[in-house]
Amino acid sequence: MNSKIVVAHRGASGYLPEHTMEAKAMAYAMNPDFIEQDLVLSKDDVPVVIHDIYLDDVTDVAVKFPSRKREDDRYYVIDFTFEELQSLHVSERFDPKTGEQFYPSRFPKGKGSFKLHSLQQEIELIQGLNKSTGKSIGIYPEIKNPEFHLKNGKDIAQITIEVLSEYGYTTKKDNCIFQCFDAKELERVRKELKSDLFLVQLIEFPEETKQLDHFATYADGIGPWYKQVIDKKVNGKWQFTSLVEDAHK
């Protein structure tokens, strides 16, 4: 199989603040196959579309709620209700200590009027656009740090699966690819929560590329770091590792 799919990572994140509705609408207009959603739960169990369990590197939480940080000086999505989260202003990613924008050539930090939103709101945007344009662009949700959520008394996998089901995403045919870095949790999604979605095991560390046999017992694919796929240049040409071939086997 040689067909490739294009995934809008965090939306059109090179052009607008990542994971905002505006970044998703622009991504949609660029015709990808899928648009990605990173998910973290709010205090009142709403799956919020944001890249990390922290708020202080993409919002003005430190200005609006200065007293709500934890002992490590970080502000956590899970400590705020969805209503509180929606009062925050989202901007281009920055260093919370210095305030410096990570990618200076991207959308200017602090400009515009961007907000956080829920998985439900984003699905409604994408499904609504599918209806009004006649396209069929899929969703690509990723649950972030399920172990942290469980330690804080929340089951992000189950809550997310329920929301996806409500919107018609239940099987491999439903234009939804579900991903996670936590192998134990992704296996649980398949075996304990009995999800029939297309599951992708994200892999970060070199030793994980040796666990393909196990991943294949519950996942439909892997999401490796690009350096696990591309090896080195020989005579100006990139050489590839055996990972793709191994995964196909």
pLDDT over 60 (residue 29): yes
**How confident is the model at residue 2, as a pLDDT?**
62
Say which residue the tokens 């015709």 belong to: 31
- Strand-pair category, 177-180 with 198-203: parallel
Q: Which of 9, 19, 117, 149 is catalytic?
A: 9
Average of per-residue pLDDT across 103-121: 97
Whether residue 209 contacts residue 203, with contact meaning beta carbons closer than 8 Å, is answered with yes
Cα-flanking dihedrals φ and ψ of residue 159, to 5°?
-60, -45
Cα–Cα distances (Å) from 223 to 81, 178, 206, in that order, read: 31, 11, 13
Question: What are the structure tokens assigned to 140, written together?
Answer: 């690509």
- Residue 139's pLDDT band (boundaries 50, 70, 90)? very high
**How confident is the model at residue 112, as a pLDDT?**
96
Supply the pTM of this predicted model.
0.96
9 catalytic per annotation: yes
The residues with which 221 forms a beta bridge, in sequence order, are 200
Whether residue 158 contacts residue 195, with contact meaning beta carbons closer than 8 Å, is answered with no
**SS3 string of 109-132?**
CCCCCECCCEHHHHHHHHHHHHHH
Q: Using one digit for the tens of pLDDT, what is the confidence trace for 151-172?
A: 999 999 999 999 999 999 999 9
**How confident is the model at residue 16, as a pLDDT?**
98
Question: What are the structure tokens assigned to 106, written together?
Answer: 């991207």
The single-letter code of the amino acid at 79 is D
Q: Using one digit for the tens of pLDDT, what is the confidence trace for 66-89?
A: 999 999 999 999 999 999 999 999
CATH architecture of residue range(s) 7-169 = Alpha-Beta Barrel (3.20)
% of the chain with per-residue pLDDT over 90: 99
Q: Which of 19, 51, 117, 149 is catalytic?
A: 51
